[in-house]
Structure 1
Amino acid sequence: MITSKTLALDVLHNFVPLNALSAQRLKDVVSGCYVESLPPESIICRYGECDDKTVFLLSGTVALIDHHGQQTLLNAIQPAANYALVDSRPRQFTIKSHTPINILTVNQQRLHDALVWEQSLSSLAKALFANLPPSMDKEWVLHLLQSHIFYRLPPMNILELLNALIEVPVKKGQKVISMGDKADCCYFIKSGRAEVKQLDHNEVLTVAYLGTGGFFGEEGLLKNAPRNADVVMLEDGLLMRLEQKDFDRLLRAPSVQSMSFSLAQAVVNSQEAVWLDIRLLEEYQLIHLKGAMHLSLADIRLKARQLPLNKHYIVCCDNGQRSAAAAFLLGIQGYNASVLAGGLWSLSATERAQYLEAA
C-alpha cells in the first residue's frame, strides 16, 4: 500500500469526475486517501451494498459480476475505466480483482461536496459580486471561498458575512490577539502574514503561520473561552474582523449538522461513520460509546491530522455543546463531521446500558 502523496495529481485528472475539480480542491479530496495494491480475487465491493466509497481503477483488471453471476472484465486502459467503478447505490455488481490491481478509494460524500462547491462557485461568485460593494477585493473573495469554512453555508449567509466584515489595518509586530483575553471576534487575513503562538508546558511555541485567506480567533468563540494563543503580524497587512454575534448567526450554526442517537448509531453500525468522543480523557475513560475514538476538544486544532480524512465522524460529548465546537473545527480542516444531538445525556436508560462502556 502506498500513500496518495506518491500519486501525481495530473494522473488523477484523467478520471471523471475528478477532472472537473481545480488542483487545490482535488488535493483536498484525495488528502488522507490512499492507493491500495490488491492481489487477484480481492473483493472491492459486493452486489447490493450501500457503502460510502468511490473507487477508481489505476492499473490492472477487475471483474464485474452481476446478480446472475455473469462476469465482465474491465481493464484500466479501457475508456470505461476513466470513470469510477460502477458508482451507483446500491451496488449493481460485485467487483473483484482479476489481476493484481491498484485502486484509489475516496469518500463519496467528500467528493460530492467538492463537486457541488466547484461547479457552483462561478455562479455564486457572480451573484456575490453583484451585491457586494465595488471596493470589495474580488480576488480575495474568490480565495476566501476556497476555504472549507464556507462549504456548508447557504449563499445568502456568505453574502451577509462578507458585508458584516470590518476592515482592520495592522502593522508589522502588532499583537492582534493575546492569550487569556476575552474572545469577542475572529479575523480573516486579507493581506499580510501572521504568526500563531501557544503555551505548551510553560514554553511559548510557534504553531502556525497564516497568510492571505487564513483566519484565526474562531476557537475562543466556539468554546466560549479566553484566547488560547497569541497572534502577531509578521508584516503590515489588512484584516477583516467578524464580531461574535455575526459569527454565531452566520457561520457557526449553519456549519454544524446534528443527528439523533438512533440515526447516528445506525450509520455507525453500517460502517459509514465512526464515533469521536471529544471530552477530556478522564471523562472518556469513565464511560463512552462502544467503539468510540477519542480526541479531546483542546487537541482538535493540533492533532486532528492524526485522523483519517476519508471517514465520517459523529462527534459526541455530554450535552452536545462541546461537540458542536469540535465539529466546526474539524469541518474547517476538511473533515466530514456531524454532532450527536443532545450528547450522551440524550441516551435513554436502555440505550446507555446497551451502547456505553468503561475504558
Structure 2
Amino acid sequence: MEDNNSPELSPLQIQRFIPFDELSENTIAELMPHFRAYRAEAKKMLFKRGTEDDECHFLLEGEVDLADDQFRITKIKGDDDENFLALDASHAIHRHAAITQVPCQLFAIRRQYLELITTWSELRQSYELDESESDWLEALLTSSLFNRVPPGNIQKLLSRFNEREVTLGEVIIREGEEGNECYVIKCGRAVVTRKTNNRSETLAALSNGNLFGEDALISNLPRNATITMSSDGVLMTLTKDDFDTLLKNPVLEYVSQSELEHLIEEGETGTVLLDVRTTQEAGVSAIPRAQCIPLGQLRSRLDELSKAFVYVVCGEGRAEAAAYILTEAGFQARVLKPVKA
C-alpha cells in the first residue's frame, strides 16, 4: 500500500538522477511543487507490466524488483550507484512490473514534465546555454537585435511589457494559431517544437532573456512552432502594436529593385538575394540569382550564411519575418520592396 504521508524531499536527493543532474539546486528548487514524494510497504506492486502510466518513478531508498514478460528479475537498490534513472520509464506503457522487496521511499513526476526537462537539458548543452540565473534584461538588451533599436524606444518598450506567471508544461504558443503577442522569458525555460510529417520535431531550447513569438507578428502568418514551458517561470508579454512600433519598424530596412541593382554592382560589401518562399514556390517561379532558404528553415540554416554579406530578402509577406530573424542574429539584412503592378 502506498503511504500518502509524503516524506521530505530535497533538491540534492533529486539531483542524483538523470536529467536533474544537469540542473542547479536553485532550478530544482523551482520544480519542487511538481514532484510527488511517497512511501510504499514491502511486497507491494508499484506498477504492472502492460499498464499505461502518466508518471515516472524514481527510487530513493529500499529495493525494487523489475520483472519482464519472461519473469526475469532485475533488482534495483536505492543506494546503488547504477540507480540513476526512472524505473522502467523508457515507454509510457510499462514493459516490466515493479514490486517492492522492502519498505521504499520514492518520488514521481509526470512523464510530460520529465520529457520537457530532459529535452531542455540536452539542448542547453548542445546550444551551450548558460544555466546561471542571468538577468533577463541584460540578456535581451545585449542581443544583436537591440543594437538597431533607438534608446528611446527601449525605454518605452520596457514600460509596455506585461508580466505573466507560467507553469511547467504550459503551452504558450501553439503551431497554426494566430499571433497577437510576443514574449521574453524573464525567468524559466521553454522548448520549441514543430510538426513534421505528423511527428513533433524539437527545434530549440529557450532561457532567460530569449525573445520568441515575433515571427507571426512580422509576417502576419499563423504561428510556425509550438512553445512549451519546461519549468515554472515568468514571461514578459508585448502586444503586436507595441512590437511593430518599438521593435519591428526601427529594425527593418527596405530597398527597391533599382537600389538592389546598385548594391550588387557598386556596393562595397557583397550582396546576396535570398528567397524565403517554399522550395515548391521557388521551383514554379524562380527568382533569378536568388538563393532559396524557406522561412521555416532559416533559423536552423543560419550557419550557411556569412556576416560578410548583405542579404536582400524577397518572398512576399515572409520577407519581413526573414529579415528580422537575420538582423536578430547579427546579419546585415534588407527587405526587397515588391514591384507594383
Q: Based on CA coordinates, which of the two structures has the bigger radius of gyration?
A: 2
Residue 200 in structure 1 maps to residue 193 in structure 2: no
2:171 to 171, 175, 178: 175
The verdict on how the C-alpha distance between 1:209 and 1:174 changes in structure 2, with shifts beyond 3 A counting, is: same
Instruction: Please give the TM-score of this superposition, normalised by the length of structure 2.
Output: 0.57
- Write the distance in 2 (CA, Å) between the matches of 1:292 and 1:181: 30
Other-structure match for 2:139:
143
* CA displacement at 1:207 relative to structure 2: 0.8
Give the 3-state SS of the residue equivalent to 1:179 in structure 2: coil
Structure-to-structure mapping, 1:322-337, within 5 angstroms: 322-337=318-333
Tell me, yes or no, if the aligned pair for 1:268 and 1:275 is still in contact at 8 Å.
Answer: no
* CA displacement at 1:170 relative to structure 2: 1.2
Other-structure match for 1:304:
302
Give the 3-state SS of the residue equivalent to 1:269 in structure 2: helix
Give the 3-state SS of the residue equivalent to 2:311 in structure 1: strand
Structure-to-structure mapping, 1:191-340, within 5 angstroms: 191-270=187-266, 272-318=270-316, 321-340=317-336
Please give the per-residue CA displacement for 1:334-359, whole angstroms capped at 9, x wherever unaligned: 21111112x2x249xxxxxxxxxxxx
Tell me, yes or no, if the aligned pair for 1:193 and 1:234 is still in contact at 8 Å.
Answer: yes
The verdict on how the C-alpha distance between 1:200 and 1:282 changes in structure 2, with shifts beyond 3 A counting, is: closer
* CA displacement at 1:267 relative to structure 2: 1.1
- Write the distance in 1 (CA, Å) between the matches of 2:174 and 2:136: 26
Aligned amino acid, residue 155 of structure 1: P
Tell me, yes or no, if the aligned pair for 1:180 and 1:227 is still in contact at 8 Å.
Answer: yes
- Write the distance in 2 (CA, Å) between the matches of 1:289 and 1:205: 30
* CA displacement at 1:161 relative to structure 2: 1.0
**Greater fraction helix:** 1
* CA displacement at 1:194 relative to structure 2: 0.8
Please give the per-residue CA displacement for 1:185-221, whole angstroms capped at 9, x wherever unaligned: 0110111111111111111021110011112111121
Please give the per-residue CA displacement for 1:231-284, whole angstroms capped at 9, x wherever unaligned: 111111111001111111111111101112222111112463111112232332
Give the 3-state SS of the residue equivalent to 2:186 in structure 1: strand
The verdict on how the C-alpha distance between 1:190 and 1:262 changes in structure 2, with shifts beyond 3 A counting, is: same
Other-structure match for 2:160:
164
- Write the distance in 2 (CA, Å) between the matches of 1:242 and 1:326: 20
Unaligned runs of 5+ in 2: 1-132
